Structures are given as C-alpha cells and as structure tokens.
Amino acid sequence: MAWQTPKTNWGQPGQTVPVADDFNRIEGNIETLGRYDRAPGYGVASGVNTKTVNLDPAPEGYYEGMCFAFRNVTENTGPVTINVNGLGAKSIKKPNGNDLVSGNLKTGSVYTVRYNGTNFILQGSDSTGNATPGDVTAGKTFSNDDGSDQVGTMPIHDDQSTILTITGAEKPQKVIPAGRLLEDSTIIAELDPSLAPLIRENNNIGGVEGTFAGKRWATGIIYPSSTYTAISGLDFVPSLIVYYRTSDGIYVLLGVASRAQDIKLGSATWNHVCFSGGSPDSIRIATGGATFGTTTYLSVPMEAINLPIRWWAFE
C-alpha cells in the first residue's frame, strides 16, 4: 500500500468517529513505515565472503530501495555476497559498480547497504582512482577503486648525487633506484685530467684544459735568386713542403717534398729554409746552419727564378 496523507484533526468539532477506511489508512501507513526502504533495519552479518544476516521483522522479499545496516563479524578477503533472512545471496558492490576487495569490510565495523534491484550497494564508499601502492610513498595512505585505506609502498631514497668521470671509451653511468628521492640530486659528468693531451690547447672540454698543440705549419712567399733565399723562424721540423708559383694569375704546382725519412733532426728546431739555384734548382731545409737530407739537402725540382714562389711547410 502506498503512503496516504494522515488525518490530523481528530477530536475537533464536527468530526465523526473513525470508520473502517480511517483504520485501513492508519494500518497501511504503519506498514509503509515498517518497510526497510523507509527505515533501515539492523542485523549482524557473519561469514567471510558469503555473509548472512537476519532482520526483524523479516522482509518478504528483496525490493528496490531496501536498506539495512549490519555489524560485520569477519573481515572479507575478496568479493562479497549477503543473504538476508534466507531470501538468497546478493552481491555487495561499491558505488562505482566494482566488487569489494580484500579488507573492505573490517571486523567489528558497521556498514549500510541499499538494494538497487540487482545488487546491494555499499553506502558511503565513493573512493575512486587508479593509483596503486607502488605509485605512492611508503607509509602514506590514499584512496583508489579498491578502497580508501590503501597504503603506499614506494621506497624512499637518500641523495643520489655523484660525479661521473670519463677516462676513455667507456661510458660511466649512475643507476637511480626506483622510488622517490628524499631530496634533489645532481649527476655531474666530467673528463679525467689525464685526457688533457688529447684536447687541443686553448680548449676546455668537460672541465679539462687541453694541452695538445696540434700539427704546426707555416707559409710565405719568396723570390729565389741565382744564389739562395732563406726563410727564417720555423719552430718545428716539417715533414711536408709544398710550393708553387704564380704567373699572370695562374697557379702552377712546382713540387712537393715529403721524404720524412730524410728529416733526421730528432728534437732539433729548424731556424731557416733555404732556396738556392743550381742544376737542378733545389730547395734546402736547414737548421742551425747545417744542411741535411739524403746527402746534404732534400732535393726537389725548382724553376721560375726571380718569380714569386708560395711555400707551405707542415709539421
């Protein structure tokens, strides 16, 4: 019977005594109030995951909106069903439609459920989220689809700062452990000072100032005479000399001296290069006033006396 508006003016002048319809209305409203969709019932639920509970008065069947509270005897270990007064087992679901997971129903706690026509829905449980314990710092609590009492397991690590020194072809590395760093960390990569000879001088790479001077070279223009022309000031021993002349804007390669095996100065330093005439014309490489080479000098073809000769000398 549906709820009917109560009569509240009994005993006033002009009112008749109650008749059958009045009593039926009163009894019907009492029945409606006694239904568990109006006033939740209460019982004790036993069992781990297949729970049973008895309500008093006992409902005649399940109906949408049916609601009751129960004290849970044993903590669940997985999805839960509940059987009310032997009417048949019905699943208890979370508001998001998911099954309960282990530990959602604690021992001794009181929970309220309401029937939606298919399942009982756990009331007051609206925690959602896809974070897992491994995503949250160890010891911190959070909520997700499994419940509101989850505890993080992500480990905490101290400062991971370090200096990685590069000494050669190997690539040093620092493995950062999975988890959360307690403070900011800095990884610094630097070159070992022993690599300085491999870095060109006046260059700083990875905090190391280079000391490698590289191959030196010198160039100039001379006008060979019938005697000789000296180029002074070389501070290295060439292993290669290239020279050519220009005439009317045309560059003509005259020769290349590259017989390094004939340059036997050791640690000596050249102080001049001599060009001299003769048959054949030649270029002389000398140091300290002394010539050297296969015999007395390194002989290469020469021509164009008194014409400009461009030369290069390479260490």
Q: With respect to residue 25, please indicate whether it lies within any of the assigned structural domains.
A: no
Regarding pTM above 0.95, the answer is: no
Last residue of a domain, one of 73, 95, 122: 122
CA geometry: angle 34, 126, 71, nearest 5 deg? 45
Question: 195 CB contacts (<8 Å, ≥6 apart)?
Answer: 166, 167, 208
What is the identity of the amino acid at 148?
Answer: S
Range of the domain at 81: 41-122
Residue 129 has pLDDT above 80, yes or no: no
- C-alpha closest to that of 43 among 70, 83, 73: 70
**pLDDT, tens digit, for every residue of 75-115?**
999 999 999 999 999 999 988 888 998 888 999 999 999 99
Last residue of a domain, one of 70, 100, 122: 122
Q: In 258-305, where do the E strands start and end?
A: 272-276, 282-287, 290-291
Q: With respect to residue 192, please indicate whether it lies within any of the assigned structural domains.
A: no
What do you get for the CA distance between the two ends of the chain, in Å?
A: 114
Q: Which helix (H) or strand (E) holds 220?
A: strand 217-222
Residue range 17-26: average pLDDT?
70
User: Comparing 183-197, 211-225, 245-259, 283-297, which segment has the lowest mean pLDDT?
Assistant: 283-297
Last residue of a domain, one of 122, 157, 178: 122
Alpha-carbon span 277 to 10, nearest angstrom: 149
Structural domains in the chain (count): 2
> What confidence score (pLDDT) does residue 7 get?
63
> What confidence score (pLDDT) does residue 3 get?
55
What is the identity of the amino acid at 253?
Answer: L
